[in-house]
């Protein structure tokens, strides 16, 4: 066999078994757009998430108008990998209406104006007061 013929056969064999990988078709997801939320709503969501972390949301059930607590809690459970700041931002982007519904029920039933509750401590005191109003039994 001549040298040229040998080289030609080797080249044909290499081409026959050469693996060609197609270029990946990459698609970038658009950045999430977040609506600007009022501070009182962010404060309440932060307070709510804190109580969720403590498994201490029993009192919120009283102000649940339309399965808001279940929907919000499901979202929180599925997204606990977010930092608290990001979790507040994301949960409000999806469930702001549910928080507003809950706040409207709180306002109707207790007379508390959510817009005047400016800090976490305001909500924590309110929650403690609600808890203390529950009659205790010794049975």
The string of pLDDT tens digits covering residues 11-39 is 666 666 677 778 888 888 788 788 899 99
Residues with Cβ < 8 Å from 76, sequence gap 6 or more?
A: 49, 52, 87, 91
Which residue range forms the structural domain that includes residue 65? 37-136
Rg value, the chain, Cα:
29
Instruction: Specify the number of domains making up the chain.
Output: 1
Q: Within a domain: residue 73? A: yes
Q: Within a domain: residue 2? A: no
* Gap between the Cα atoms of 134 and 55, Å rounded: 18
115/18: higher pLDDT: 115
Q: Within a domain: residue 104? A: yes
**Count of C-beta atoms within a 10 Å radius of residue 97:** 11
Percent of the chain, pLDDT > 90?
A: 60
Mean pLDDT, the chain, as a whole number?
86
* Residue 92: per-residue pLDDT: 96
Q: What is the pLDDT of residues 56-82, one digit of tens each?
A: 898 898 899 888 999 999 999 999 999
């Amino acid at each position: 066999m001549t040298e040229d013929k040998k080289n030609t056969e080797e080249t044909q064999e290499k081409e026959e078994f050469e693996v060609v990988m197609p270029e990946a078709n990459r698609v970038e997801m658009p950045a999430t757009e977040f609506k600007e939320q009022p501070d009182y709503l962010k404060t309440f969501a932060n307070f709510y998430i804190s109580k969720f972390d403590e498994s201490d949301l029993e009192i919120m059930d009283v102000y649940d108008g339309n399965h808001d607590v279940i929907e919000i809690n499901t979202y929180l459970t599925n997204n606990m990998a977010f930092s608290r700041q990001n979790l507040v931002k994301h949960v409000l982007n999806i469930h702001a209406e549910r928080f507003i519904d809950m706040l409207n029920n709180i306002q109707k039933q207790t007379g508390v104006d959510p817009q005047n509750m400016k800090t976490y401590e305001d909500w924590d005191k309110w929650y403690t007061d609600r808890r203390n109003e529950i009659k205790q039994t010794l049975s």
